Structure 1
Amino acid sequence: MNNYMQPLVNKGAKNDMKVSDENALKGLVSFPQKAEQIAISGYFDNLDNLITLHQRKCDETKELKKFMLQKMFPKNGEKKPEIRFEGFTDDWEQRKLSDIVDVLDGDRGKNYPKETDFDTNGHTLFLNASNVTTDGFSFDTNQFISEEKSDSMGNGKLIDDDIVITSRGSLGHIAWYSADIQRIVPYVRINPGMLILRKKVSINTSYLYQFMKSDKGQNQISFMSFGSAQPQLTKKGIEGLNVNYPKKSKEQAKIGEYFSNLDNLITLHQRKCDEIKEIKKFMLQNMFPQKG
């Protein structure tokens, strides 16, 4: 369509570009025989149907997750959730986050990396804002520092099972440095706009990660943020966040696993949707004659 429209464009008196009604149908159109037209349109119809299917499944799973996050954690003032796995009846506990985890700052000071210390490849991934999203870690755009530079720094180095939360700019994005993620990127540091949650008592990290992403966690994070130009979360504020959790580790694990499975389904359908969109884009560029 771009190739078709470009020769028909007129430059208007106000330096705008437009196609007049008179010219809109004057362009030449290339098309194959009818049987091939039917085959091409059927092919793209199938791609559109697959895109719609995976997007619908993705949206449905997101809605299910949103509903279950509201129902599988106790409401304010309550000690039991509305929906629960069979076999669990105990009251839930509530504790300050600082009773459960150590909250660690990112690196600052004289050894903080300079612009010249960063590279697109290297030993230690130095997280930036785009790496910690509402859906966890993303490694599309990365910056690295050397092992020597990393060793010269203090706080901010991730270890297995840490949780990262963004504390500046885009607030409250949560990512879990699980064993699966560690296998992909074994050496990682956070920047000063993030905090590390490192557990110090026996609590299921998958559960804590899901709680922090739930409405109960995110509402508290939104309430405690401050600053108008660039809202921030403080270490002290995060330490005071209230965490509800079941007493039995098996129930914690079941809840964490349930929501992790939903996350995996959402990721799967979104990835499939994006892959098919890329196929469609490629085929649209190559299944029609190029200009000239």
Structure 2
Amino acid sequence: MFPQNDEKVPRVRFANFKNEWEQRKLGSLATIVRGASPRPIQDPKWFDNESDIGWLRITDVTEQDGRIYHLEQHISKLGQAKTRVLIEPHLLLSIAATVGKPVVNYVKTGVHDGFLIFLSPTFEREFMFQWLEMFRPKWQKYGQPGSQVNLNSELVRNQEIVLPNHKEQQKIGVFLKQIDKAIILHKSKLDKLISLKKVLLQKMFI
């Protein structure tokens, strides 16, 4: 990403930005804490369909590609006392199953212990979401060959990142999110075309 002379300036950037990027540890940019889970998790008393607090699961993350706009399962008042509840959107990081996947909750969310939460961040959330998505395969360096990666809060806190000032972070985040939206739109069109073709094939080749 950066030139070989060790200058912290990316090869490609928006015009009017000149300053070098700064190397920091993730733990210096936010308070990173782990979610919490009521036990045993199968106990129905922890859940309530009438609750306005959703319960985030790995399946929600994979189905919505990390941007959480709805949650099917909801956590009860009892369950809320045993987890971490987020009322506003926050950046999260999956450390179990789908390891290293960044997540943003856009709904009220109970966060279990398979996620880390970035509290009181000093970074632009969308920039960091995109950076974590880029960095995701590199978490594998913390795993043993042939075994599942085991991330913990200390490893994440100590991970170094090179990042620009807030204005450039914001510019990059907005730009990359627009690309994500375009990808989703084209995928939707492609899915519709595939479905249309299947219907036509069924009707034309009977």
Task: Look at both structures and tell me which one has the larger radius of gyration over its CA atoms.
Answer: 1
Percent identity of the aligned residues? 23
Structure 1 counterpart of 2:194: 277
Distance in 2 of aligned mates of 1:169 and 1:227? 17
Higher helix share: 1
CA distance in 2, matches of 1:212, 1:75: 21
Query: Unaligned regions of 5+ residues in structure 2, if any?
Result: none
For 2:90, the aligned partner's letter is: D
Instruction: State TM-score, norm by structure 2.
Output: 0.82
Partner letter of residue 81 of structure 1?
P
The answer for the alignment partner of 1:223 in structure 2 is 141
1:33-44 superposed matches below 5 A: none
Deviation at 1:256, TM superposition (A): 0.6
AA of the residue aligned to 2:127: Y
- The alignment status of 1:108 with 2:25, answered yes or no, reads no
Residue equivalent to 1:246:
164
Partners of 2:98 and 2:129 in 1: CA distance: 18
Specify the SS of the correspondent of 2:170: helix
Displacement of 1:229 in angstroms is 4.4
**1:239 CA drift (Å):** 0.7
- Which SS does the other structure have where 1:144 is aligned? coil
Determine if the alignment matches structure 1 residue 210 to structure 2 residue 130. Answer: yes
Q: How does 1:63-78 map to 2 (within 5 A)?
A: 71=1, 74=2, 77-78=6-7
Alignment: residue pair count: 203
Partner of 1:151: 80
Q: Which residue of 1 aligns with 2:12?
A: 83
Paired with 2:148 and 2:43, the residues of 1 have a C-alpha distance of 22
The Cα of 1:197 is off from its aligned counterpart by 1.8
Change (3 A) 1:239 1:159: farther
- TM-score, length basis structure 1: 0.60
- Name the residue aligned to 2:112: 191
Distance 2:170 2:130 in 1: 11
The offset of 1:281, in angstroms, is: 3.0
> Could you say which residue in structure 2 is the equivalent of 1:47?
none
Tell me if structure 1 keeps the 8 A contact 2:101–2:136. no
**C-alpha deviation, 1:75, in angstroms:** 5.9
Answer yes or no: is the 8 Å Cα contact 1:161–1:205 preserved in 2.
no
- Kindly provide the amino acid, as one letter, of the partner of residue 109 in structure 2: V
Match of 1:31 in 2: none
Instruction: Indicate if the aligned counterparts of 1:165 and 1:173 stay in contact, CA closer than 8 A.
Output: yes
Equivalent position amino acid for 2:108 in 1: Y
Q: Which amino acid aligns with 1:84?
A: R
Task: Indicate if the aligned counterparts of 1:125 and 1:145 stay in contact, CA closer than 8 A.
Answer: yes
Q: Residue 115 of structure 1: CA displacement?
A: 4.7
- Alpha-carbon separation, structure 1, partners of 2:162 and 2:88: 23
For residues 59-88 of structure 1, the C-alpha deviation after alignment (integer angstroms, 9 at most, x for no partner) is xxxxxxxxxxxx5xx368441000111111
1:233 pairs with 2:151: yes
Name the CA distance, whole Å, in 2 between partners of 1:239 and 1:174. Answer: 15
Tell me the amino acid that sits aligned with residue 154 of structure 2. Answer: K
Give the C-alpha shift of residue 204 in structure 1. 1.3
- Aligned residues of 1:131 and 1:139 also touching (Cα < 8 A): no
Which residue does 1:165 correspond to in 2? Answer: 93
